């Protein structure tokens, strides 16, 4: 059966759709869009669908991945799904792939953070973060880091054991605890697969 890797955006109010709800949204869109999806067996069959890396609630994603198995080559699947998905979620591409799915292949992610005015940024290592109750230098998990005005863009480890949360990095380079809650806007710009 063909496997398709979908690329999609999740923007605006759709950023507040949680990961489990996003799975249900896609399952419904697959049915409404007439996508020839392969289904699991058992009492409650559902489309064979998986997502690369869950987005935190409230974070926009500009190039997310979802993998779906189909029963036949699907022409126009991106258009059919986009029409059936709610506002703010758009499928921008679909390509066939072989081997491991996106979830097993994510190694890095590129994030953008918009800071409140008056934020001070230090983009020089060390980047001391707290993970599982222990402090450590996350410099080995930061592959690119730049700051321009109030914007920070970082390419960091994602998926697997070495995953680094973008808010932990921002806290390490800005002293985020001094900011009002929810004053920093995060966007995941893309995922990088191996």
Give the pLDDT score at 157: 96
Q: Is the pLDDT of residue 130 over 90?
A: no
For residue 176, what pLDDT band results from cuts at 50, 70 and 90? low
Neighbours of 21 (CB within 10 A): 11
3-99 CATH, one of 3.30.870.10, 3.30.450.150, 3.30.70.580, 3.20.20.70: 3.30.70.580
Q: How large is the average pLDDT for residues 173-183?
A: 72
pTM for this predicted structure: 0.89
Neighbouring CB atoms inside 10 A of 35's CB total 22
Q: Which residue has the higher pLDDT, 160 or 106?
A: 106
Higher-pLDDT residue of 185, 72: 185
Instruction: Give per-residue pLDDT as tens, 103-128.
Output: 999 999 999 999 888 778 888 889 99
CA distances from 153 to 59, 82, 144, 149, 189 (A): 15, 28, 8, 11, 9
The DSSP result for the chain, as a single string, is --EEEEEEEE-GGGGGS-HHHHHHHHHHHHHHTT--B-B--SSS--B-EEESSPPPTT-EEEEEEEEEEBSS--TTHHHHHHHHSPTTEEEEEEEEE-SS-HHHHEEEEEEEEEPPTT-----SSP-EEEETTEEEE-GGGEEEEEEETTEEEEEEE-SSTT---HHHHHHHHH-GGGSPTT-SEEEEEEEEE-
């Amino acid at each position: 059966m063909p496997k398709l890797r979908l690329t999609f955006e999740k923007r605006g109010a759709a950023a507040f759709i949680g990961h489990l709800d996003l799975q249900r949204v896609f399952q419904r869109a697959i049915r409404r869009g007439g996508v020839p999806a392969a289904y699991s067996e058992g009492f409650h069959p559902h489309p064979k669908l998986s997502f690369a890396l869950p987005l935190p609630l409230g974070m926009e994603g500009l190039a997310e991945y979802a993998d779906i198995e189909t029963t036949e080559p699907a022409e126009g699947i991106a258009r059919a799904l986009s029409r059936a998905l709610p506002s703010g979620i758009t499928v921008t591409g679909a390509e066939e792939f072989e081997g491991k799915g996106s979830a097993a292949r994510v190694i890095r992610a590129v994030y953008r953070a918009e800071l409140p005015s008056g934020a001070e940024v230090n983009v020089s290592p060390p980047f001391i973060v707290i993970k599982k109750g222990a402090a450590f230098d996350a410099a080995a998990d930061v592959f690119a880091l730049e700051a321009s005005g109030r914007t920070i863009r970082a390419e960091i480890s994602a998926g697997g054991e070495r995953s680094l949360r973008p808010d932990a990095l921002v806290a390490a380079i800005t002293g985020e605890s001094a900011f009002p809650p929810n004053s920093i806007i995060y966007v995941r710009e893309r995922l990088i697969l191996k």
